[in-house]
Structure 1
Amino acid sequence: MTRVAPTLTVDPQGPRLVLSGDLVVWTLGQLPPQDATGIDLAALARLDTAGAWELARRRAAGATLTGLSARHADLLATVTAVLPVADPPPPFVPPWRRMLQATGQRVTGAGLYLVQLAEYLGRTLAALARALRHPTRFPLTALVHHAHETGLRAVPIVTVMSFLIGVVLAFQGSDQLRQFGAEVFVVDLIAISILRELGILLTAIVVAGRTASALTASIGSMKMRQEIDAMRTLGLDPDMVLILPRILALVMVLPILGLISAVAGLLGGAVMSWVELGISPAVFLARLADISVTHVIVGLTKAPVFALIIGVIGCHAGMQVGKDAESLGRMTSSAVVSAIFAVIIADAAFSIFFARVGL
């Protein structure tokens, strides 16, 4: 085989490469670096696809090809037609436009997320209607199990947290009210704060962090193992078997946890009031009896709504888990953050509503 014999000449227009012999895949290594402004191919005997690709690449870089025979020109045209074309540079986008675009995407994503949550809420209500029409299809054992896991196991942490919150409220309230000689009103401060807002809100936040992650992890792991697809194959309804018992259990136990939280918070406030201010338990109870029962009703009214929000968000996140562990971890974290954020937003909406109606 004739080897290529490249020679590099210099003329007033710049270095020029003269090729003779064969320019094939075996001889490409003999070519000098790409610094010639022109390439003379009049003496070129043989050209293959690899050589044509090299010539096309150098021509695209600015080199001029001369002396190209007709048969070599056809091959070079064919190779040039399939050369990859560089992507054009992205158009310049002003920073304000990028910011508006990102904001619009987030708003659209949030709207889509709310639509999906509404869909799962509707599916839950539809499954509840089917369960009421056909009670034998409802998995009562699963309801009891999830009520135990969601409610009974959460009692210790809710009780301790609420007791400490009551202690903190009594201590901080007594320190401020002592300046005005109104220490006895610390009972009103503790009772209204805990019964109306903090008791159920903090309980819902704890349950959101504890239960929303558990719902996402349990349903998501089943989805990863394709157990939900197997259930559909067997004719079982995932909404009836998986989603409805978990949400119903949460709706049932969260008001109970809220009541336990309120009692523990009042007990912590009573203990601290006795220690810090000398308010005896009898005086504390007498003052507590003057508190309107409306605050208790307002606090417990929020519990089922908070439970529904937490359950729907947790189950929705579990059904969105993909087939990898990374997706499970990401959706679990997202469910906890979304549930806590939604509970706080709902509590703010409740506060505005009750303030408007005079409760």
Structure 2
Amino acid sequence: MQNAAQYSLEDSGQHGEAQGPRLVLSGALTLAAIAPFERALRGVSGPIAAIDLTQVDEMDTVGAWVVCRLAREHGAEITGASEAAERLLGAVRGIDAGSDIRPPRLPVWKRVPAEMGEKVFAARSGLYGVVGFFGQILIGGASLVRHPSRFPGRALVHQMELVGVSALPIIGLMSFLIGIVIAQQGSVQLQQFGAESLTVNLVGRITLRELGVLMTAIMVAGRSGSAFAAQLGTMKLTEEIDAMRTIGISPIEVLVIPRILAATFMMVLLGFYASVMAIIGGAVVGDLTLGIPFWTFLERIHDVVPEYDLWVGLIKAPVFGLIVGLAGCYNGLQVRGNSEEVGRRTTMAVVSAIFAVIVIDAFFAVFFTEIGWG
């Protein structure tokens, strides 16, 4: 039968070098007997010069940890430990000291270039992955051309409904409000020069050429691109895509190509629809605040907007849709590990699609200006 652990406070002035109260522990400091003893020790307060273990009969790792914690809290010295107890104390000493275990940070002039190098290296790997993914799509498309009966027509129609038809209300409202803002703010600035009638030119050209398609692409990226990534990512986690490969069905042909084609085709219609709604919003402002009748505003659009502005928007739209579809599907198929990765890849799909769309739009602006469509 183990002796219950006990303690007592004595004056250590004549028993050792340390001056002050001495905490004498006795009995068994083991897991089986230390629970009530450890609670009793919480009532010990004030300075303690030393903890005497001479009368301790037995000690295990838990007892050693309690002794070390008590010594650290009171700044006391541990004395009288046997050889076995000293080994235990050395093993557990400092394991919960709360010291900073993080490695020292490099100076900023070293850390920033190092992190930039890692980002560039990761971007290179990502570029290789995108090129390989695009190659898989080309191979899958060629396979469908050779075997038209395998083309997932119903999946394509379903995705066109989700990407296009279901998005009409939100894109129409967004474009209508953008047209109102452009017309109102543009007219305020043009009135300073007595040229508020040129608001028609401003609204018509900027919506058909730039903002109609660009804002639609951003909206589709946030709405459909994120959905592509989340759907395919969840299917990766549940191993549905692996099961499709096992039974001989190509996920690229069945899942990816319908989504990319739907985003590409519907972006043309959504971009044109958004431009029309923005022009209608500008016409409403012209009728209410500028004294330009609604139908006159729309007729003037036909006169002041060059035909090539419409073609510029229609040419950019399928390219933006292709980018959004590729970003969503690629990031969805890159999901690994756990559900947290689905959220991260969904965010990456939206951010990368919007970034790529804006970059490509800048190149289009320079290109069309150089060929005389500026």
Q: TM-score, normalised by structure 2?
A: 0.74
Amino acid at match of 1:345: V
Is residue 252 of structure 2 the alignment partner of residue 243 of structure 1? no
Aligned to 2:119: 107
With over 3 angstroms needed to count, the CA separation of the structure-2 counterparts of 1:27 and 1:63, relative to structure 1, is farther
Q: Secondary structure at the match of 2:12?
A: strand
The residue type equivalent to 1:53 in the other structure is A
**How well do the aligned residues superpose, as a CA RMSD in angstroms?**
4.1
Cα shift at 1:254: 0.8
> What's the secondary structure of 1:180's corresponding residue?
coil
C-alpha distance in structure 2 between counterparts of 1:93 and 1:326, whole Å: 28
| Deviation sequence 1:134-179 (CA, Å, 0-9, x none) | 3333312211221122122323433343344334434443444344
After superposition, the C-alpha distances for 1:27-47 in whole angstroms (9 at most, x for unaligned) are 763997693436473xx5843
Map of 1:83 onto structure 2 = 92
Unaligned runs of 5+ in 2: none
* Bigger Cα displacement from structure 2, 157-166 vs 100-109: 100-109
How many residues matched? Answer: 352
In the TM superposition, residue 255 of structure 1 has moved relative to its aligned partner by: 1.2
| 1:191-202 equivalence runs, <5 A | 191-202=204-215
Contact 1:187 1:288 in 2 (8 A): no
Q: What SS is found at the alignment partner of 2:361?
A: helix
Separation in 1, partners of 2:106, 2:334: 35
SS in 1 for 2:302: helix
Q: Greater RCO between the two (CA within 8 Å, min separation 6)? A: 1
Cα distance, 1:114 vs structure 2: 5.1
The code of the aligned residue for 2:329 comes to C
What residue is the counterpart of 2:316 in the other structure? 302
8 Å Cα contact 2:172/2:277 also seen in 1: yes
Residue equivalent to 2:140? 127
Kindly provide the amino acid, as one letter, of the partner of residue 245 in structure 1: P
Residues of 1 paired with 2:6 and 2:359: CA distance? 79
**2:182 maps to 1:169:** yes
Q: Indicate the residue corresponding to 2:278 in structure 1.
A: 265
What are the Cα deviations for residues 332-356 of structure 1, in whole angstroms up to 9, with x where unaligned? 4554344334333332333244345
Return the match for 1:138 from 141, 151, 155: 151
Give structure 1 stretches of 5+ with no counterpart. Answer: none
TM-score, normalization by structure 1: 0.76
Whole-Å separation in 2 of the counterparts to 1:20 and 1:192? 89
Shift of 1:314: 1.7
- Classify the secondary structure of the residue corresponding to 2:92: coil
Once the two structures are TM-superposed, the CA of residue 13 in structure 1 deviates from its matched residue by 3.2
Distance in 2 (CA, whole Å) between partners of 1:268 and 1:35 is: 81
Is 1:180 matched up with 2:193? yes
Deviation at residue 54 of structure 1 after TM alignment: 6.0
Given the alignment, which residue of 5, 13, 21 partners 2:18? 13
In the alignment, which residue of structure 2 is the partner of 1:254?
A: 267
Alignment of 1:1-359 (within 5 A): 8-11=10-13, 13-15=18-20, 23-25=28-30, 29=37, 35-37=48-50, 39=52, 41=54, 46-49=57-60, 53=64, 57=68, 63=77, 65-66=79-80, 72-73=82-83, 75-76=84-85, 79-80=88-89, 82-83=91-92, 86=95, 89-90=101-102, 92-93=104-105, 96=108, 100=112, 104=116, 107-108=119-120, 111=123, 116-270=129-283, 272-273=285-286, 276-278=290-292, 281=295, 285=299, 288-289=302-303, 291-321=305-335, 327-329=341-343, 331-359=345-373
Letter matched to residue 107 of structure 1: K
Instruction: Report if aligned partners of 1:223, 1:321 keep a CA contact under 8 Å in 2.
Output: yes
